[in-house]
Amino acid sequence: MASPLPPLQTFQLNDFRLQCGATLPEATLAYRTHGALNADRSNAIVYPTSFAVTDADVAWLIGPGRILDPERYFIVALNMFGAGVSTSPSDMARDPGTGRFPSFSHVDNVTAQHALMTERFGVDRLALAYGWSMGAQQALHWAALFPHRVERVFAVCGAARTSVHNWVFLDGVRAALTADPAWDGARFTAHPERGLRAMGRIYAGWAFSQSFYRERAFERLGHADVESYLAAVWEPNFLRRDPHNLLSLIDTWQRCDISANDVFGGDLDRALGAITARVVHMAADTDLYFRARDIRAEAGRIPNGEYAELRTVWGHRAGNPDGSPGDEAAIRDAVERLLAR
């Protein structure tokens, strides 16, 4: 039986100015801590969430013998804005002028996370920023925007800038969701069950590789056929989400670019070159979102960057390998090697 999760905690940010220009009178950053902070505050790890999950959904990789070890490190699992636990459209008022929700960026996410780590915990330098997918995007933002605060980065299946192809995929997902009859052009007037089911099925075809389905790997997960797999896993996963939160997260993902800020002015080479942390930039060779070739290229532009690759049929989900022990072991071993340096 899994151990109970630590309690969810919150950190309030007053008059929090977003990168889009809006100011939130009060923003909430929700998080959990695993393990204990040591005396010199040198063992802190930040672990931001990925698309359409909460910290509880991905807490499985925290534990003795897992990828992140709370017996040695103080791990802060951070819920990014828009995902339904920290400040999100599901608990916000719309802008009275535009009728829309403010947009969140990863600059907003890591700015809030930085305030939490420095003000509440007194951590001046992270031992590691770890993340998968959108969590990897945030980890790389940490390293570029706060280079003196980050000793190491482990970014798995995520890139510093969203590629055009990845943007197009996300726009297709957005189109499927907003094709639901409940969408009136600005908001959902009811829970968009049809759109969410469609979104889940589209996602299923991209999150795993062609080889995953060709080898019928879903059978090893206990599903008799592909239809039962989609109906039992992918549709429910999206049906339980708030659709406005999903649109917010899609927007954040599409606009991800560690150089799209006042510090770097859109110069990606300068942003990657500003990273002083030791970085392992890990791809999955079958990832359809963040292609290995793109991640290899980014790693080569980071001064202390190292490219690593998972050889797997699990595609993008190899970076969150609950159910793939081989990928979990490869990530765990690579993290241990990085932390030993």
Give tens-digit pLDDT for 222-279.
999 999 999 999 999 999 999 999 999 999 999 999 999 999 999 999 999 999 999 9
Question: Which helix (H) or strand (E) segment is 24 a member of?
Answer: strand 23-34
Residue 139 pLDDT grade (very low, low, confident, very high; cuts 50, 70, 90): very high
- Please tell me the total number of residues recorded for the chain in this structure: 341
The answer, yes or no, to whether residue 1 has pLDDT greater than 50, is no
SS3 assignment, position 168: helix
The residue whose two tokens read 């795993």 is 208
The answer, yes or no, to whether residue 178 has pLDDT greater than 70, is yes
The CATH-assigned architecture of domain 9-163+257-339 is 3-Layer(aba) Sandwich (3.40)
Q: Which of 55, 57, 73, 65 shows the shortest CA–CA distance to 128?
A: 73
**Segment 135-152 mean pLDDT:** 98
For residue 70, the 8-state DSSP code is T
136-167 burial: b if 16+ Cβ within 10 Å, else e? bbbbbbbbbbbeebbbbbbbbbbbbbbeeebe
SS3 assignment, position 237: helix
Supply the pTM of this predicted model.
Answer: 0.97
- Rounded Cα distance between 321 and 312, Å, is 10
**Segment 88-117 mean pLDDT:** 93
- Rounded Cα distance between 86 and 339, Å, is 29
* Tokens standing for residue 60: 């499985």
The more confident residue out of 97 and 129 is 129
**Sequence ranges of the domains in the chain:** 9-163+257-339, 166-250
The residue whose two tokens read 């993340």 is 131
Strands 74-78 and 44-48: parallel
**Catalytic residue numbers?**
133, 287, 316
Q: Which of 144, 69, 150, 71 shows the shortest CA–CA distance to 117?
A: 150
* Tokens standing for residue 325: 């022990």
Residues ≥6 apart with Cβ < 8 Å to 65: none
